[in-house]
Structure 1
Amino acid sequence: MLTEVIGAGGVRLGLRVAGAANTSAIVLVHGWAQSSLAWSPQLADPGLTARYRLVGVDLRGHGGSDVPALGYDEPRVWAEDLAAVIDFAGAGAPVLLVGWSYGGLVITDYLRVHGTTNVAGIVFAGAITEIGRDRPGGRVGPAMRNALPAALSDDPAEAVPALTALCAGMSSRPVDGPLAQSLLGTSLSVPPAVRAALFRRDVDSSAVLAGLDVPTLVIHGVQDQVVDLSAGEYAAGKIAGARTRWMPGTGHLPFVEAAAEFNSALEQFAGERFAH
């Protein structure tokens, strides 16, 4: 089901919703220059959708959401956007937050402003939690380094090859062809100005992570060439009691490349967090 909520400044945010109504909710937050389509293996998983309401958001400037000119460098804007999604998904009850790549940073923006209000638990999947020069929680791998700055260009001759190479470098295992092409198409559909604006930030999340008081699972592909494994290790080391799941032979798309394993881990973690 497609629907929408209104985020900070009246920005319309597109949502993909799957699963049973009146159940505990899992909110899925995608990465840089992607959309909720990336979560297709979760939104279509019968085990997850039978037990939970899954809500995938298109971040501002991405997918089916509005593309405002400003707000991409303001933690409070991201926090209020995600708060609107949490309110919709949980209807006042705590939700489980799952952040992939840049989505992990958006979750830390929410935590910076709202703490763990209405958060039952967190999953960081191939995620960054910081951004900026020499920020260990934002360390990227060679696929991302090689794509920049060309992937931010408004010149197709520069951006298209860079984004094509980046999308190809996301996975370590074979990915379904149509989904791989969808990821590339989504990247190209995000305006260059938005792609660039998301990088114009300098965010230290050490205190946010150290103060996290809900159970957290850090999942990361050992062969991730987009977000370095050390970024996941950094987050896990800062968060008291964090669990880790390092996935050998898996790249930046653990929820696609090893969907069955990822979904099983997510379902188990959610079951613990929503146990009555």
Structure 2
Amino acid sequence: MRTEVVGAGGVRIGVRVEGTETAPAVVFVHGWAQSARAWDAQFADPELRRRFRLVALDLRGHGASDVPRGGYDDPVAWAGDLAAVLGIAGQPAVVVGWSYGGLVIADYLRVHGTRDLAGIMLAGAITEIGKGHPGGRVGPAMRAALPDALSEDPAVALPALSALCTGMASDPVPGPLAQALLGTSLTVPPSVRSALFRRDVDSSDALAAVDVPALVLHGTEDAVVDVSAGEYAAGKIPGAESRWLPGVGHLPFAEAAREFNTTLLRFAGERAIGARAER
């Protein structure tokens, strides 16, 4: 099912919702120049659909969401968008952030703390951005793609985005998936792709203040977000659990979907049991 909510500044945020309506919610936040379709393998998992209400947003400027002129450098805007989506859950939710989605979660933490959060799962995620911030360290595939991937000239942007999408996985991904990733990237306007990088964000205080369970999951062969960014987040969040996936790249939810889904089932299931016990 597709629906929408009104985020910060009146921006309409596209939302994908599946699963059991009355069940605890898992909210998915995708990465730079992608969409809610990134989570297809999770939305197709029968056990996840049975036990949880699955909610995935399209970030502002992406997918089915509005493309406003501004807000891309404003943590309050990102926090407001995510807060609006969390409102669908009706109860504290486990939030899963991939790549740039981890920074959006960090923005939410900066503004709202852990309100309405039952747990946080970071998957191949950054939590900071800008020169010298270890939580935003990128890998060779992303370094090679910039700045060309931000260009308005398709002759410049297309090869860079194609190489980036191909480099997301440690092993070659099936052609349809590679083309889907590239196609989604091309639907995001160059102005938006650029705006998301015009930030300088330190998240150390926001991460250190987290008081809900957290899990950091990262592929050891991630060439887009360096594994050290995951290590940084795991070290900053009090009591965070970490899981490193050998031989997996930047798409753990697709490259190792079965292991990813099993891990998410356990983590989210424990949060659900804890929430029931507290009632």
Q: TM-score range by the shorter chain?
A: over 0.9
RMSD: 0.7
Asked if 2 retains the 8 angstrom alpha-carbon contact of 1:18 and 1:44, the reply is: no
Give, in whole Å, the separation in 2 of the partners of 1:23 and 1:55.
Answer: 12
1:99 partner amino acid: G
Match of 2:22 in 1: 22
Pairwise CA distance, 1:174: 3.9
Mapping for residues 151-230 of structure 1, pairs under 5 Å: 151-230=149-228
1:81 corresponds to 2:81: yes
Asked if 2 retains the 8 angstrom alpha-carbon contact of 1:175 and 1:256, the reply is: no
Task: Describe the SS at the equivalent of 1:69.
Answer: coil
Asked if 2 retains the 8 angstrom alpha-carbon contact of 1:174 and 1:257, the reply is: no
Mapping for residues 63-78 of structure 1, pairs under 5 Å: 63-78=63-78
Note the residue ranges of structure 1 that are not aligned, 5 or more in a row.
none
2:138 to 137, 140, 151: 140
Give, in whole Å, the separation in 2 of the partners of 1:65 and 1:152.
Answer: 20
Pairwise CA distance, 1:180: 2.0
Pairwise CA distance, 1:179: 2.2
Task: Describe the SS at the equivalent of 2:18.
Answer: strand
Asked if 2 retains the 8 angstrom alpha-carbon contact of 1:135 and 1:204, the reply is: yes
1:200 partner amino acid: R
Give, in whole Å, the separation in 2 of the partners of 1:19 and 1:113.
Answer: 29
Asked if 2 retains the 8 angstrom alpha-carbon contact of 1:28 and 1:99, the reply is: yes
Give, in whole Å, the separation in 2 of the partners of 1:178 and 1:27.
Answer: 25
Match of 1:232 in 2: 230
1:101 corresponds to 2:99: yes
Pairwise CA distance, 1:175: 2.6
Give, in whole Å, the separation in 1 of the partners of 2:99 and 2:167.
Answer: 14
Asked if 1 retains the 8 angstrom alpha-carbon contact of 2:166 and 2:172, the reply is: no
Name the count of aligned residue pairs. 274
2:153 partner amino acid: D
Pairwise CA distance, 1:240: 1.0
1:252 corresponds to 2:225: no
1:116 to 101, 114, 117: 114
2:111 partner amino acid: V
Give, in whole Å, the separation in 2 of the partners of 1:174 and 1:57.
Answer: 27
Match of 2:54 in 1: 54
Pairwise CA distance, 1:178: 1.7
Give, in whole Å, the separation in 1 of the partners of 2:179 and 2:79.
Answer: 30
CA offsets per residue over residues 7-47 of structure 1, 9 Å max, x none? 01111111111101111000000000000000000011111
Give, in whole Å, the separation in 2 of the partners of 1:2 and 1:267.
Answer: 23
Give, in whole Å, the separation in 1 of the partners of 2:24 and 2:78.
Answer: 23
Give, in whole Å, the separation in 2 of the partners of 1:27 and 1:113.
Answer: 18
Q: Percent identity?
A: 69
